[in-house]
Structure 1
């Protein structure tokens, strides 16, 4: 009797051990499958991650210098969240690259300097891609002021003049600004155009254009709204947004046609070609998968959409 019990116990022990071993084996296989599946899921979720420099992949963050006071391109909503065309495009590219784009506020005319000093990885701020910026040349003096940058072009926009609604002061074109005062954001194409037009006015002896430049476009709008200038100028999407939203659409009006249509570019240091190429690949990917088109439509700026990501397309 005892022998029979002992034998049964031995058989049971062997059976139990086998079951445990089998379950353990199954468990290991499941764990391995989950790990493998996880890797595949990550690869699918961020198909272009391996294009980034390893240092950025390790951090998981791309730092973006931006003048966050330029609606609808980038601005803060009522809760303080950074929103707009640029942040939306950056978020979509981040999904392709497996990183987060973090926008840091700075005045527009210091963004390229911040890029050179490696404070930022990118500058994305409705920045027009120009040969001068590519080559590090001051647009006014023509002198070399630093290392240039590369651009990945993602939008096209011209420059507009706007005035107080119902009071255009006879301004229809840039030539009509002679003898008048205009407000602009410092370091922008609008400021460059105003300076160039002023030189023409002086040569023709038609009166000086008084140019008042501010750190951001909203300050310029405030000045014009208060009657401190005859006109303002900014990129067309920004001017159109101000006309639509300021004072419920009662403050401003656009006069004349937009001029100097040119690409907006995401600025990258000349030495960081791997990051530049990764950004270009990510932008191309969201153009092809339709995310870019959705973002552009969301902000009502379809007229400025691009069909492919180009580098250094400005002139």
Structure 2
């Protein structure tokens, strides 16, 4: 969900964060886009009539009229279920706009974040779109921690930029103002995310420097991690900046959490496409560039209050 805003990326080279403050409100839950689940299918033939980029899609996908999207739908405000059970958020809204350009329906299927690329490689999904940070390790199919090859890599069509933040219980920061203050503390994260990777890397720095390790407790999704911290079971949590900021803004009416320190590791979010599907990657890039040019992209970004993470053009494999 280094994805983003768990950053959902792989820990690596330090970057200066470039994403600004987020301004979101609970009312957005009611104004987000329609359901993206299987139960809400449209007639593909009808949708292609006014789709200017439909001819750029691979024939197999164009014939189906559907792009299956693997996503961890528990990562507000990027993708989540609203009170009516509909899949809403930044990614579903962008996917809906892309679908209008390409003449297909994007169907979001829920899965745990650390299994999405496996599902993509096994062709369960056509793409993965889940606040996933584009990294060189993911492009190459390499485990970021061991450096070993774990499977075929993926290509990314990049559409947003986000960093990683730390948050604590409100009014109780435990003296944490930076990652270096986490030695000897207990931290909750989403498994397989950049936050998880950063926590492990920072813990190694702690022990190498003669300090206590960070006690890291990973969860399947970010909401579980937040629940643990809210209940007093940890000292701090970490996730992509937009997600952390959204939790600070909305959880307990804004009374549960606070952001601490500066966000780090600013990097692009990408739509993951299996290697060898160049035509699909190019079609998605063309559709993204089209909605950026016609202003629909900016409207979506502004709607969710994440303007500072907007991009001016789509790119492929820009992550490092």
TM-score range, shorter-chain basis? 0.7 to 0.9
1 CA distance for matches of 2:179 and 2:48? 52
Give the Å deviation of 1:42.
Answer: 7.1
Aligned residue number for residue 146 of structure 1: 151
1 CA distance for matches of 2:176 and 2:294? 43
**Following superposition, which runs of at least 4 residues in structure 1 exceed 2 angstroms of deviation?**
41-44
Aligned residue number for residue 54 of structure 1: 59
Q: TM-score, normalised by structure 2?
A: 0.85
Aligned residue number for residue 8 of structure 2: none
Alignment counterpart, residue 96 of structure 2, candidates 91, 100, 120: 91
What are structure 1's unaligned runs of at least 5 residues?
A: 1-40
Aligned residue number for residue 198 of structure 1: 203
Aligned residue number for residue 297 of structure 2: 292
Matched, 1:232 2:237: yes
Aligned residue number for residue 247 of structure 2: 242
Q: Deviations over 1:187-240 (max 9, x none)?
A: 000001001100100000111101100000000000000000000000000000
Q: TM-score, normalised by structure 1?
A: 0.86
Aligned residues: CA RMSD: 1.0
Q: Report SS of the residue matched to 1:133.
A: helix
Matched, 1:260 2:256: no
Matched, 1:214 2:214: no
Alignment counterpart, residue 69 of structure 2, candidates 61, 64, 69: 64
Give the Å deviation of 1:44.
Answer: 6.8
2 CA distance for matches of 1:226 and 1:188? 22
Alignment counterpart, residue 308 of structure 1, candidates 298, 313, 319: 313
Instruction: Please identify which structure carries the higher helix content.
Output: 1
Matched, 1:168 2:173: yes
Alignment counterpart, residue 132 of structure 1, candidates 127, 131, 137: 137
Q: Deviations over 1:98-128 (max 9, x none)?
A: 0000000000000000000000000000000
Q: Deviations over 1:6-62 (max 9, x none)?
A: xxxxxxxxxxxxxxxxxxxxxxxxxxxxxxxxxxx9777200000001111111000
1 CA distance for matches of 2:121 and 2:52? 29
Asked if the contact 2:48–2:102 (Cα under 8 Å) also holds between the matched residues in 1, the reply is no
Q: Report SS of the residue matched to 1:45.
A: coil
What are structure 2's unaligned runs of at least 5 residues?
A: 1-45
Q: Deviations over 1:50-75 (max 9, x none)?
A: 00011111110000000000000000
Give the Å deviation of 1:271.
Answer: 1.3
2 CA distance for matches of 1:182 and 1:163? 9
Q: Report SS of the residue matched to 1:190.
A: helix
- Structure 2 CA distance for partners of 1:208 and 1:55, relative to 1, 3 Å: same
- Structure 2 CA distance for partners of 1:43 and 1:79, relative to 1, 3 Å: closer
Q: Report SS of the residue matched to 1:86.
A: helix
Matched, 1:82 2:87: yes
